[in-house]
Chains A and B, each alone.
Chain A
Amino acid sequence: MSAPRLELRHITKRYGDVVANDDVGLAVAPGEIHAILGENGAGKSTLMKVVYGAVAPDAGELLWDGAPAAIQSPHDARALGIAMVFQHFSLFDSLTVAENVWLGLSRTVSLREVVEGIRGKAAEYGLDLDPDRPVHVLSVGERQRVEIVRALLANPRLLILDEPTAVLTPQAAEKLFETLRKLAATGCSILYISHKLHEILALCHQCTVLRGGRVVASCDPTRESTASLSRMMIGAEPPRLERRPANVGPLALSARGLALPGHDRFGVALEDVSLDVHAGEIVGIAGVSGNGQQELLAALSGEDPRADAGAIQLFGQPIGRMGAAARRKRGLHFVPEERLGRGAVPSLSLANNMLLTRHEALRAFGWIDRAALRHQASGVLRRYWVKASGPAAAARSLSGGNLQKYIVGRELDAVPKVLVVAQPTWGVDVGAAAQIRAELVALRDAGCAVLVVSEELEELFALADRLHVIAKGRLSPSIGSAEASVEQIGEWMSGLWTGGPGQAAALAGGAR
Chain B
Amino acid sequence: MIRLDVRQVPSLRMSVLSPIIALAVTVAAGGVLFLALGKDPVRVLSMFLVEPFNGVRALTELGLKCTPLILCALGLGLCFRSNVWNIGAEGQFLMGAIAGGGLALWVTNASAALSPWVFFPLVVVAGAAGGAAWAAIVALLRDRFNANEILVSLMLVYVADLFLSWLVFGPWKDPLGFNFPQTVQFAAATEIPRFVRGMRLHWGFAFALVAAVLMWLFMFRTHRGIQLQIGGPAPAAARYAGFSSRAAIWTTLLISGALAGIAGAFEVTGPMGQLTPHVASGYGFTAIIVAFVGRLHPLGAVLGSVVLSAFVIGGQLAQSRVGLPASVSGVFQGMLLLALLGCDTLIHHRPRLARWTWRAAP
Contact = CB atoms under 8 A, between A and B. Distances in A.
B321 interface: no
A368 B236 contact: no
Contact of B230 (A79, A105, A323, A345): A345
B234 A342 contact: yes
Interface stretch (A358-366, A425-433, A439-447): A358-366
A302 B242 contact: yes
Contact of B242 (A73, A325, A344, A366): A325
Interface stretch (A347-355, A461-469, A498-506): A347-355
Interface string A317-334: 000000111111000001
Contact of A368 (B8, B223, B237): B223
Interface string B214-254: 00000001111011001001101101111110000000000
Contact of B240 (A105, A324, A348): A324
Given A154-B361, A342-B234, A325 B241 contact: yes
Contact of B361 (A105, A334, A366): A105
A347 B221 CA distance: 16
B237 A345 contact: yes
A108 B361 CA distance: 10
B288 to A, nearest CB: 22
Contacts of A356: 230, 237, 240-241
A319 to B, nearest CB: 12
A368 B224 CA distance: 10
A509 interface: no
B230 A348 contact: yes
Contact of B244 (A154, A323, A348, A365): A323
Contacts of A365: 222
A352 B240 contact: no
B226 A352 contact: yes
Interface string A70-111: 000101001101000000000000000000000011111000
A302 B240 CA distance: 8
A120 B221 CA distance: 54
Interface residues of A, number: 44
Residue of B233, B354, B360 most packed against chain A (CB within 10 A): B360
Contacts of B221: 367-368, 370
Contact of B222 (A55, A106, A154, A367): A367
Given A73-B5, A346-B233, A303 B224 contact: no
Contacts of A220: none
B240 A342 contact: yes
A343 interface: yes
Contacts of B227: 355
A104 B240 contact: no
B230 A106 contact: no
A345 B242 contact: no
A357 interface: yes
A370 B221 CA distance: 8
Residue of B222, B223, B230, B240 most packed against chain A (CB within 10 A): B240
B359 interface: yes
Nearest to A322: B242
B9 to A, nearest CB: 9
Contacts of B234: 341-342, 345-347
A122 to B, nearest CB: 19
B38 interface: no
Given A343-B237, A367-B221, A106 B361 contact: yes
A154 B362 contact: yes
B242 A155 contact: no
Residue of A343, A366, A370 most packed against chain B (CB within 10 A): A366
Interface in B305-336: none
Contacts of B241: 324-325, 355-357
Contacts of A104: 360-361
A301 interface: yes
A345 to B, nearest CB: 4
Interface of A: 55, 73, 75, 78-79, 81, 104-108, 154-155, 301-303, 323-328, 334, 336, 338, 341-348, 352, 355-357, 359, 362, 365-368, 370
Interface of B: 5, 8, 221-224, 226-227, 230, 233-234, 236-237, 239-244, 352, 354, 358-362
22 contacts: A78-B362, A79-B362, A81-B362, A105-B361, A106-B359, A106-B360, A106-B361, A107-B360, A108-B358, A323-B244, A324-B241, A325-B241, A327-B242, A334-B240, A336-B240, A344-B237, A345-B233, A346-B234, A347-B234, A355-B223, A356-B240, A367-B221
Closest 7 CB pairs of A and B: A325-B242, A324-B242, A366-B223, A356-B241, A342-B236, A106-B359, A345-B234
